[in-house]
Amino acid sequence: MKAYYDRRAPEYDEWYRGAGRFAERDRPGWGQEVEALGLALAALPPARTLDVACGTGFLTRLLPGELVGLDQSEAMLEEARRQAPEATYVQGDALSLPFEDGAFERVFTAHFYGHLEDGDRERFVAEARRLAPELVVVDSALREDVESEERQERILNDGSRWEVYKRYFEPDALARELGGGDTVFAGRWFVAVRS
């Protein structure tokens, strides 16, 4: 998957912004919901936060407190450094986080957890719990037009095709899966749970 994200890095935020390949998609209320999600994240109490699989830093820039972004893709980190320059960035493996126990107050991740298959989900949650007492997960909301779990073909602007594993969530089900928690945001397109 590293190669996919390396190639997707320069165009990734087109998804959030409804540009490029996403300009013609019918996503009612998308822009308003992206904005509302950002406001919900910005309203979290400030904390020393590790953003795992931070990608381009699109949401990293909204998080309050001292920030460290981690991603396996150097191309994504280059984008993040431009978008959220106040954060510190580390290239590394999200399933074997290179930090000491208790190094953070919060672990945050967005649109990463939903790509993890069974064993990797448990591994990630254990790593997050090792590093911080709080875990915030943002991912895609389960809707009537998607399956809760599917393989998707992703086509990049260069025409390359990639297959990814993807899950969609209802907030209560995601909270249960994380071991309990509260809904930070629940919309048509996104959910966020604080556990």
Q: Which residue has the tokens 């995601």?
A: 174
Determine contact, residues 71/59, Cβ cutoff 8 Å.
no
Closest CA to 154 of 10, 55, 12: 12
Q: What are the pLDDT digits (tens) for 122-155?
A: 999 999 999 999 999 999 999 998 999 999 998 8
AA identity, residue 147? E
Q: What are the pLDDT digits (tens) for 64-103?
A: 999 999 999 999 999 999 999 999 999 999 999 999 999 9
Give Rg (Cα) of the chain. 16
- Residue 112 has a pLDDT of 96
Strand, helix or coil for residue 195 = coil
Tell me: pLDDT of 42 over 90. yes
How many angstroms separate the CA atoms of 106 and 83, rounded?
21
How many angstroms separate the CA atoms of 126 and 178, rounded?
10
Closest CA to 58 of 48, 69, 47, 66: 69
Task: Output the CATH code of domain 2-194.
Answer: 3.40.50.150
Q: What are the pLDDT digits (tens) for 167-193?
A: 999 999 999 999 999 999 999 999 999
Determine contact, residues 64/42, Cβ cutoff 8 Å.
yes
Determine contact, residues 127/157, Cβ cutoff 8 Å.
no
